[in-house]
Amino acid sequence: MSISSNAQVAFKAERKQTSCAYCGVGCGLDIEIHNDSPVKLQGTTSHPANQGRVCVKGNSLLDTIATKGRLLQPEINQQPVSWDEATEHVASKFNDIIDQHGKDAVAFYVSGQLLTEDYYLANKLMKGYIGSANIDTNSRLCMSSAVSSYKRAFGEDVVPCEYQDLEKADVIFFVGSNAAWTHPVLFQRMQAAKIQNPKLQFVALDPRKTATTELADIHLQLAPGSDAGFYNGLLKYLNESDAIDQQYIEDSTNGFNDALTQANYWTLDKVSEFCQLDPFDIEQAYRLFADHKNVISFYSMGINQSNSGTDKCNSIINCHLASGKIGKSGAGPFSITGQPNAMGGREVGALCNQLTAHLEVENKEHQGIVQSYWQSPTIATQVGTSATEIIENIEQGTIKAIWIMATNPVVSLPDRERVIAALNKCELVVVSDCVEKNDTLEYANVKLPATTWLEKDGTVTNSERVISRQRGMIDAPGQAKNDWQIISEVASKMGFKGFDYQHPYQIFAEFCELTGIASKGERLLDISPLKPNSKQQFDTMMPTRWPISDSGSSSSASQLHHRPFANGRFSTKSRKANFIAITPVLPQLETAPKFPFVLNTGRIRDQWHSMTRTSTATHLNQHISVPKLSINTIDGKRLNIKANDWIKAKSSVGEVMVEADLSEDVKPGQCFMPIHWNQQFASDANVSNLFPSVVDPVSKQPQLKQVRVAIEKIDVRFLTKIEVKNEYAQRIDVSGLSLYGKALYRKTLYQHCQSYLVAETEHERSNNNAETIVLESTLKQLKSMLGQEVQWLSLLAANDGIGRFVGSIDGTLAVIVECFDLNNVDSIKSDKPIFPETNVGWLEHVFEQPQLSQQHKVAILKSEPAAEFLKGKQICSCFNVHQTEIEDAIMSGSDNLEKLAVTLKCGSGCGSCKTDLTQMIKDHKTQLSGHSSKTILPENIITMGGC
């Protein structure tokens, strides 16, 4: 649409800046507002985190702000109530429980998706007014091991690096990180840096082949969880290669000899045995670390989520301290967080073992500082219960009430069934959330509607310590309120004074001031120069990285901050960093004979956490649309498992049942499954159900990366595929669509329809007549669900065990149903999937038509989409480019990334698809040369997840 130049000026004047709602990179976003509605999104070029870049998830945020599916009104026991009734009920129940059972009988479980102001008030209410430290955050699950290791080494939880270091490094070690998919904007910056500096080398430590390892110069496919052995061996190697900085060790550290004594056991042969790596490959990586001045160790959940995550982190830090590769440009141990405000939670003390402003719960001086500033009636004096301990204490009856804010613990905590049992037992479960339905809300006594991205107003802190404004730009739907408002109302009704805030700037100002008082020159977290004196000053606040220089006034991050530990002085009492002697251990796993496979978990490219937000941007559901368990092809042959067979993975505490993916990207004896799926999208695909509650003894972070499982093929008799127009989807209950026994199901959301697959795993009858089965069972149930107004057409091929049905309402396509009887030999005569992935473009096309044509009816019943829609798997989500389009372009001469970007635009957006594109180009060139090569095809792309 063309608009006048004056209109363009007015339109541009409505541009506002905020931050992304996803990972800890903390990208800045420009949002254009027209008629009070956001209409365009792009990266903020001036923001230090992303410099204008945006990943595909962030670029799709405006597709996720619809009010459909939102929680719009408070509820008590499933009944709508007023806000006054809801907060009065919560406050009185909390007070009653505290009066009867004590302050430790209540707990808060909060989230890295809260803003700093929300986090701060939740912490203030629990620790300063209720007087208990029973508040923990879901960040416990992703980065508490990094927090503990930084505190042990530096005396304070300070990430000593920033993103521009990634562009100045000579070598980058990716450790437990598939950054290409999990932190794609940072990976783009690193890729760009490698173009500018071809000598920059990437080393990836990962048990699997991932999008990141595909682009690494060295991939060390080490044994799962063996990273500390690798870094202990590196410390020994640095010492023996004269690659340590003896002067730095003497001037700025303590404990080197003890750490080295432990490391000296870790010869190349021992590391080789422990990590299951070739000694030559190990030494090659060690030499890169030793020979280069600027080395970054970039690590994430693959390190942290372990029974020894803190030790693993400290083993990395030890090597940087020993070689002096810290406190300077282009070097350091760089932990990357997974949530948008995990760092903000660390700053305000949202973990159960902290007070706000990096102070300690059990330190009397620190208690006095915080209580005096808050003028609170009490203060927590002992460490509270961590995330998993909250569940244990509910089980034991010592915690009677829990308030869950902006998180989904039934999906994310280990041992799902145990979490459900605890919530069922808990006297009061309060959940504040923005959605009307998720796995946790099912167990809530009280539901409180909260605001979400673009409605919330406050600050967040990213992984490089940059504080950014998240600006509210649209009105909250229904009766939703900001979390800080909800907390304030409950606190006031509990009888507490000091929560009469009118705007989040007042909360941020209070926190800023407290950091200055708490720092006393001993800690680096002092953001008091950022304290706003007015709403206007808060609104115009620029992204700012701490520590802040003495000259501080609110300006850009690059102008104000100074580098942590650049002077070789740390936040410990001695002002020296601490080496930690490490004894590496492998993950705590069950015995191999009963559970022969080691399962690794991770993320996929286009989804985030439990899919609450990303799944509503329907094009993000196309790259990988269903949950699968990836096993090596050797194991598949041994177990008689083919691609897309239904399989069960069972651990000591639970099981999952999903389709199989055969891949060379996992080693024999290992398998992989993504973390995202929950009961809203699949009946039996919540991977946390496999994990027992095993935690790191220091950080209390659960081991959520590896678990031992047994794998077996599931006997599936019937498969039913249902594709239903969105406006009729709410009529279908797939959990109730069962022919004879248990039905497994999965769901995928698209723009115009929803797609279900139902698999029958238990059956009592042995009827081989597919026509009878379909007519008497599936169709009968669907007719009842969809209503009598549906007109049905059918195509039955009883000899092939196939039934296909088309349902229309007033001439418009309403539903497509395909049923298969797998007992019929003809239906499984090949290795091709029973239900080939119909191109989503075809589905969207037929469901979008106002009238169902005869041509479309025939094509649907024969399962023969029009040729122009047979494009294969979506590869580039940004520009909706599919596999066959890319293959054709490569064959026509667009045989490098630059040419493909010009021809199809693929790879020119977020860049996450570049690995797939590179492999497709490589495959084409290999075919021309007559050699074979591994091809990344749709069936095994899923194995390139990671965390």
DSSP of 370-391: HHHHHT-S----S----HHHHH
CB 706 within 8 A of CB 671: no
User: What secondary structure letter does DSSP report for 867?
Assistant: G
pLDDT score for 549: 78
Tally Cβ neighbours within 10 Å of residue 715: 11
Residue 585 in 3-state DSSP?
coil
Share of the chain above pLDDT 90, in %: 76
Domain CATH for 264: 3.40.228.10
Reported as a single tens digit per residue, the pLDDT across 512-538 is 999 999 998 889 999 999 999 999 999
Q: Would you say residue 555 has pLDDT above 50?
A: no
Own/partner long-range contacts of 420-423 (Cβ < 8 Å, ≥24 apart): 421/395, 422/391, 422/394, 422/395, 423/394
Domain boundary among 504, 520, 542: 504
Tally Cβ neighbours within 10 Å of residue 680: 17
Domain assignment of residue 449, yes or no:
yes
Q: For the ranges 458-472, 762-776, 831-845, which has the lowest average pLDDT?
A: 762-776
One domain for residues 743 and 802: yes
CA distance 115 to 188: 27
Q: Which residues pair with 809 in a beta bridge?
A: 812
Angle made by CA atoms 543, 549, 550, in degrees to the nearest 5? 130
CA distance 742 to 772: 20
For the chain, the average pLDDT equals 90
One domain for residues 295 and 314: yes
CA distance 398 to 25: 38
Phi–psi pair at 523, nearest 5 degrees? -125, 150
CA distance 152 to 400: 34
pLDDT score for 944: 26
Q: Would you say residue 766 has pLDDT above 60?
A: no
Tally Cβ neighbours within 10 Å of residue 441: 18
Domain assignment of residue 355, yes or no:
yes
Give the domain extent around 845.
Answer: 718-821+838-869
- Reading the block at residue 538, the tokens are 């808060």
Residue 340's alpha-carbon distances to 76, 605, 850, 936, in angstroms, are 30, 17, 42, 31
Residue 6 in 3-state DSSP?
helix
One domain for residues 778 and 864: yes
pTM of the model: 0.93
Domain CATH for 356: 3.40.50.740
The single residue listed with the structure tokens 């100002």 is 509
Reported as a single tens digit per residue, the pLDDT across 845-882 is 999 999 999 988 888 888 888 888 888 888 998 898 99
One domain for residues 369 and 222: no
Q: In the predicted model, what is the mean pLDDT of residues 391-398?
A: 98
Domain assignment of residue 768, yes or no:
yes
Number of domain units in the chain = 4
The full DSSP string for 384-422 is ---HHHHHHHHHHTS--EEEEES--HHHHSSSHHHHHHH
> What is the torsion angle, in degrees rounded to the nearest 10, for the CA atoms of residue 230, residue 232, residue 233 and residue 236?
160
CA distance 15 to 31: 5
CA distance 328 to 565: 8
Tally Cβ neighbours within 10 Å of residue 425: 15
Q: Would you say residue 697 has pLDDT above 60?
A: yes
- Reading the block at residue 449, the tokens are 């509607």
Q: Would you say residue 232 has pLDDT above 70?
A: yes
Using 50, 70 and 90 to split pLDDT, how confident is the model at 324?
very high
Phi–psi pair at 263, nearest 5 degrees? -70, -25
Q: Which letter, b or e, does each residue of 42-78 get, where b requires 16 or more Cβ atoms within 10 Å of its Cβ?
A: ebbeebbbbbebbbbbbbbbbbbbeeeebbbbbbbee
Domain CATH for 940: 1.10.10.1100
Q: Would you say residue 724 has pLDDT above 50?
A: yes
Domain assignment of residue 326, yes or no:
yes
One domain for residues 326 and 232: yes
Domain assignment of residue 220, yes or no:
yes
Which region, left, alpha or beta, applies to residue 669 given φ > 0 means left and ψ of -120 to 50 means alpha? left
Using 50, 70 and 90 to split pLDDT, how confident is the model at 739?
low
Contacts of 784 (CB under 8 A, 6+ apart): none
Domain assignment of residue 672, yes or no:
no
One domain for residues 760 and 901: no
- Reading the block at residue 581, the tokens are 């002697």
CB 209 within 8 A of CB 234: no
- Reading the block at residue 887, the tokens are 């293959």
Q: Would you say residue 793 has pLDDT above 90?
A: no
CA distance 21 to 791: 44
**What is the Cα 147 distance to its own chain's centre?**
18
One domain for residues 401 and 309: no
Q: Would you say residue 691 has pLDDT above 70?
A: yes
Q: For the ranges 62-76, 354-368, 765-779, 802-816, which has the lowest average pLDDT?
A: 765-779
pLDDT score for 763: 54
Domain assignment of residue 795, yes or no:
yes
One domain for residues 292 and 398: no
pLDDT score for 468: 98
Q: For the ranges 296-300, 358-362, 485-489, 825-829, which has the lowest average pLDDT?
A: 825-829
One domain for residues 79 and 122: yes
* Nearest residue to 604 via CA among 908, 944, 301, 848: 944
One domain for residues 153 and 122: no
Tally Cβ neighbours within 10 Å of residue 800: 15
Q: Would you say residue 274 has pLDDT above 50?
A: yes
One domain for residues 318 and 436: no
Reported as a single tens digit per residue, the pLDDT across 302-323 is 999 999 999 999 999 999 999 9
One domain for residues 260 and 150: yes
Which residue type occupies 591?
T
Own/partner long-range contacts of 369-375 (Cβ < 8 Å, ≥24 apart): 369/517, 369/518, 370/127, 370/128, 370/514, 370/518, 371/128, 373/513, 373/514, 373/517, 374/124, 374/128, 374/498, 375/498
CA distance 592 to 612: 35
Q: Would you say residue 244 has pLDDT above 80?
A: yes
CA distance 285 to 755: 46
Reported as a single tens digit per residue, the pLDDT across 177-224 is 999 999 999 999 999 999 999 999 999 999 999 999 988 999 999 999
Domain assignment of residue 598, yes or no:
no
CA distance 546 to 802: 64
CA distance 655 to 660: 14
Domain boundary among 335, 360, 392: 335
